[in-house]
Amino acid sequence: MKELDLLKKDWQKNTNSFEQVSEIEIYKMIHKKSSSIVKWILIISILEVLLWTCLSVCFNSDDYLIKMKHPELIQYFEVFAYFNYGVILFFIYLFYKNYITISTTASTKQLMSDILKIRKTVQYYVWYNLAMLVVSLIIGFIIAFVYNPEMSVLKDKIATNGKVMAITIGILTLTTLVFLGAFWLFYRVLYGILLRRLYANYKELKKIDL
Amino acid sequence: MSDNLEHSFVKQLQENQNIIHKICRLYTNGDDAHKDLFQEITIQLWKAFPKFRGDSKFSTWAYRVALNTAITLYRKTKRSINTIEFEGRQHFLNDVEYDYEEEEQLKLMYKAVYQLNDIEKALIFMYLEDKDYQEISETLGISEVNARVKMNRIKGKLKKILNPLGV
């Protein structure tokens, strides 16, 4: 291609036409803060992990269970809580491991895939917590219905009236769906803005190698 | 020790800064964006420098980190349009004795290159820098054969941009 050769010649001829940056300026630059995408993903991810860990640690159901007058439930919940801590630690380990593998000297494709892996880990963590939340809600409702004496009026109504039951289930399902939908949308927007270009470039690179 | 490292880095970067300028030229338009990307690449290079062992040339190493930053890590702070007004770039051509037809062709060619996507730009960039396909494939993480195929496609794409009617 004739035009490309022309461009190449011109490109190489113009190598020295840039305004040179002095050593002092470079010194200043390396002490400035990076605003790279990895930094933003890292900040947001740490906030996410902190938020969800706080929620799951702080949200203590013991008082409620004691009120139910069924202390054996507390034991089950303790096992559940330990399991949960284990999972949190495992995720933090994965997150850290993925983060330190990020290297700007890797190939472009590898670097992209490493960044997306960090993202995935955190995403799984968020989904795990959301799932836990839904499971807890369901268990909470069941316990409320089965053990909570205050619920007996509603219980009787549901048992005799199919309409009340349908409405109750409907409201519970709807609440859960709206909740999940809001989260999904939030993540879409948040990471959509951050990762759109990276995803596009990653797809392009993968397409070349198909 | 760390002062030594810093000094050695700054010195080498200062000598090799045109690599970064060239990448900035291809991936940004306007002086502010150019400076912005230059700074981010410098920071990324500095962060990676302790792992740079010197078993490859500083420039080879810098190419990779700089390209990765431009394609992968850099967040454009301002909305920018890929098709650039060429007028702002004319000073690159100034010291040549003017061949008007050639100059016109070059203008169009630069314009066409700016219309390529980030990955295509990376390939063209390495081609313009006379890198062989092995280095291109290693830098981007694609196979050598596919790098060749893609390069040919890009040439086709450029031709089409230059001559959309195919006459």
Q: What's the mean pLDDT in A21-27?
A: 93
Q: Do B68 and A20 touch (CB under 8 A)?
A: no
Identify the pLDDT of residue A190.
Answer: 83
In a domain, A14, yes or no: no
How many whole angstroms separate alpha carbon B104 and alpha carbon B90? 11
Give pTM, 2 decimals: 0.81
Identify the pLDDT of residue B87.
Answer: 44
At B20, which CATH number?
1.10.1740.10
How many whole angstroms separate alpha carbon A137 and alpha carbon A125? 18
In a domain, B47, yes or no: yes
Considering only residues B166 and A99, tell me which one the structure prediction assigns the higher pLDDT.
A99
Considering only residues B79 and A112, tell me which one the structure prediction assigns the higher pLDDT.
A112
The mean predicted confidence, pLDDT, of chain A is: 84
Chain A residues whose CB is inside 8 A of the B13 CB are 26
**If contacts are CB pairs under 8 Å, which of residues 28-47 in chain A contact chain B?**
29-30, 32-38, 40
The domain in which residue B18 lies consists of: 1-80
How many whole angstroms separate alpha carbon B121 and alpha carbon A7? 14
Q: What's the mean pLDDT in A7-22?
A: 87
Chain B residues whose CB is inside 8 A of the A40 CB are 75
- The rounded percent of chain B whose pLDDT value lies above 70 is 84
Per-residue tokens: A195: 């990762």
Closest CB to B92 among A17, A22, A104: A17
Identify the pLDDT of residue B144.
Answer: 95
Q: Do A35 and B102 touch (CB under 8 A)?
A: no
Q: What's the mean pLDDT in A178-184?
A: 85
Going by C-alpha positions, the residue among A120, A11, A63 that lies closest to residue B22 is A11
Q: Number of helices (H) and strands (E), helices first, in chain A? A: 8, 0
Q: pLDDT tens-digit profile of B100-113?
A: 788 888 889 999 99
- Establish, for the pair of chains A and B, how many residue pairs have beta carbons separated by less than 8 Å: 163
In a domain, B113, yes or no: no
Prediction ipTM score: 0.81
Query: Are the C-beta atoms of residues B125 and B26 closer than 8 Å to each other?
Result: yes
Q: Which residue of B has its CA nearest to A103?
A: B48
User: In this complex, is the C-beta atom of B160 within 8 Å of any C-beta atom belonging to chain A?
Assistant: no
In a domain, B68, yes or no: yes
Q: What's the mean pLDDT in A67-84?
A: 77
Q: Do A201 and B117 touch (CB under 8 A)?
A: yes
Identify the pLDDT of residue B82.
Answer: 47
Q: Do B48 and A11 touch (CB under 8 A)?
A: no
Identify the pLDDT of residue A60.
Answer: 61
Considering only residues B107 and A58, tell me which one the structure prediction assigns the higher pLDDT.
B107
Q: How far apart are the first and last CA of chain B?
A: 63
User: In this complex, is the C-beta atom of B31 within 8 Å of any C-beta atom belonging to chain A?
Assistant: no
User: In this complex, is the C-beta atom of B82 within 8 Å of any C-beta atom belonging to chain A?
Assistant: no
Q: Name the pLDDT band for B121 (thresholds 50, 70, 90).
A: very high
In a domain, A41, yes or no: no
How many whole angstroms separate alpha carbon A29 and alpha carbon B49? 14
How many whole angstroms separate alpha carbon A178 and alpha carbon B103? 60
Identify the pLDDT of residue A69.
Answer: 66
In a domain, B70, yes or no: yes
In a domain, B129, yes or no: no
In a domain, B115, yes or no: no
In a domain, A36, yes or no: no
User: In this complex, is the C-beta atom of A199 within 8 Å of any C-beta atom belonging to chain B?
Assistant: no
Q: pLDDT tens-digit profile of B26-84?
A: 999 888 999 999 999 999 999 999 988 777 889 989 999 999 999 999 987 654 454 44
Identify the pLDDT of residue B1.
Answer: 56
User: In this complex, is the C-beta atom of A100 within 8 Å of any C-beta atom belonging to chain B?
Assistant: no
Q: What's the mean pLDDT in A55-64?
A: 68
Q: Do B65 and A18 touch (CB under 8 A)?
A: no
> With 80 as the cut, is the pLDDT of residue A170 above it?
yes
Q: Please give the distance of CA A54 from its chain centroid, rounded to a whole number.
A: 15
Q: Do B146 and A22 touch (CB under 8 A)?
A: no
In a domain, A49, yes or no: no
Q: Do A208 and B117 touch (CB under 8 A)?
A: no
Going by C-alpha positions, the residue among A138, A39, A148, A136 that lies closest to residue A81 is A136
Closest CB to A110 among B11, B40, B141: B141
Q: What's the mean pLDDT in A178-194?
A: 85
Identify the pLDDT of residue B86.
Answer: 46
How many whole angstroms separate alpha carbon A203 and alpha carbon A99? 21
Task: Report CA-CA distances (Å) from A29 to A110, B27, B34, B38, B79.
Answer: 27, 20, 14, 9, 23
Per-residue tokens: B103: 């100059």
Count of domains for chain A: 1
Considering only residues A201 and B3, tell me which one the structure prediction assigns the higher pLDDT.
A201
Considering only residues A170 and B146, tell me which one the structure prediction assigns the higher pLDDT.
B146
The domain in which residue A77 lies consists of: 54-208
Q: Do B72 and A10 touch (CB under 8 A)?
A: no
User: In this complex, is the C-beta atom of B33 within 8 Å of any C-beta atom belonging to chain A?
Assistant: no
Residue A43: exposed, middle, or buried by beta-carbon count in 10 A (0-12, 13-18, 19+)? exposed
Torsion angles phi and psi, residue B79, rounded to 5: -65, 125
Q: What is the DSSP letter of B92?
A: G
Chain B residues whose CB is inside 8 A of the A110 CB are 141
Chain A residues whose CB is inside 8 A of the B73 CB are 36-38, 104
User: In this complex, is the C-beta atom of A76 within 8 Å of any C-beta atom belonging to chain B?
Assistant: no
Q: Name the pLDDT band for A188 (thresholds 50, 70, 90).
A: confident
Chain A residues whose CB is inside 8 A of the B105 CB are 3, 6
